[in-house]
Amino acid sequence: MSKQCLIDLEDAHKQIAAYIVNYNTKRLNSALYYLTPEDFLLGKVDSSLAVRNRKLKQAVENRKLYAKLHLI
């Protein structure tokens, strides 16, 4: 939660609910392989890690190609 003034109890509930949604669905957790708790809950760990690995491999290839074309 950001340092915002909680106007009343209803406002506090809204801000806390928004924080929980962000924490569970957007924030990457280092203890969970930098995935979200939602990824684990929905059983998307393997597919999310596979996507990440494909992107990392592609980034390595892109850097090699860039170096070959521009630095050597």
Using pLDDT thresholds of 50, 70 and 90, give the confidence band for residue 8.
confident
Q: Residue 1 pLDDT more than 70?
A: no
C-alpha dist (Å) from residue 26 to 33, 44, 47, 58, 68: 14, 14, 17, 24, 36
- Write down the pLDDT at residue 71: 84
Q: In the block, which residue shows the tokens 């203890």?
A: 31
Q: Where are the domains of the chain?
A: 9-70
Q: How confident is the model at residue 2, as a pLDDT? A: 58
29-47 pLDDT per residue, tens: 999 999 999 999 999 999 9
Higher model confidence: residue 25 or residue 2? 25
d(CA 6, CA 14): 10
Please state the pTM of the whole predicted model.
0.67
Within 13 Å and on the Cβ side, how many CA atoms surround 3? 0
